[in-house]
Amino acid sequence: QVQLVESGGGSVQAGGSLRLSCVASGYTLNSNCVTWFRQAPGKEREGVATIYPGSPVREYAESVKGRFTLSRDNAKNTGYLQMNTLQVEDNGTYYCAAGLTSGVCLGGSFRYWGQGTHVDVSS
């Protein structure tokens, strides 16, 4: 059984930082792309960052470029999303997704999803 568990969300003031983690079991994160999505209240879910398997290539949404950084620890089967210079616009629930089923990595459809971790940035 595949399980993705996110953690690291919380409340922070604008300009602050958070690091989200995504721990996988039953699935090797480095076998395919892993994407972080976020969804703010009343808005559509959007892909914010993706990391490709066995590659240093990362891809980021324009809104987070230069502020968010993806990394992966293969030994721990864990992915990380370092979020710096957080803005109120970054508020939302963040999900990691794995097992691409269709589309491109940054915004496609995925088979496996975590339960989400909430980020609250205050001004």
d(C-alpha 82, C-alpha 5), whole Å: 16
Mean pLDDT taken over the chain: 96
Categorize the per-residue pLDDT at 40 as very low, low, confident or very high, splitting at 50, 70 and 90.
Answer: very high
Q: Which residues contact 32 (CB under 8 A, 6 or more apart)?
A: 53, 98, 99, 100
Q: Give the up-direction half-sphere exposure of residue 58: CA atoms within 13 A in the CB hemisphere.
A: 19
What's the pLDDT score for residue 20?
98
Q: How far apart are CA 49 and CA 115, in angstroms?
A: 17
Arithmetic mean of pLDDT, 32-40: 96
* pLDDT classification of 23: cutoffs 50, 70, 90: very high
For the residues 87-116, what does the mean pLDDT come to? 96
Summarize the confidence of residues 23-42 as an average pLDDT. Answer: 95
Q: Is the pLDDT of residue 49 over 90?
A: yes
pLDDT the model gives residue 26: 96
- pLDDT for position 2: 96
Confidence check: pLDDT of 55 > 90: no
pLDDT at 6 over 90: yes
